[in-house]
Amino acid sequence: FPPDFQPIACKPLFFDVALSLADYPSLEDKLDQKKQGGGISSFVKGWLWGGGKK
């Protein structure tokens, strides 16, 4: 005593790549809806107020 040191296999590095792949979906089309869905009211608004803003 004390006993001799003995080598053991070390635990290799292992990455959780799947976590990096657990990403949010694209929201691009959801952000565009304002332009698509605005329709006539946004046209009227643009006509009424659009001149004021540059």
> For 3, how many CA atoms within 13 A lie in the half-sphere containing its CB?
3
Per rule CB under 8 A, is residue 31 in the interface with other proteins?
Answer: yes
User: Considering the rule CB under 8 A, would residue 37 count as an interface residue with other proteins?
Assistant: yes
**Count of residues binding other proteins (CB under 8 A)?**
24
Show the tokens assigned to 46: 């643009």
Gap between the Cα atoms of 18 and 34, Å rounded: 34
Q: Within the chain, what is the greatest distance between any pair of CA atoms?
A: 93
7 interacts with other proteins by CB under 8 A: no
Q: Is 48 in the site for other proteins (CB under 8 A)?
A: no
Q: Provide the minimum distance between the beta carbon of 46 and other proteins in the complex, in angstroms, as a whole number.
A: 14
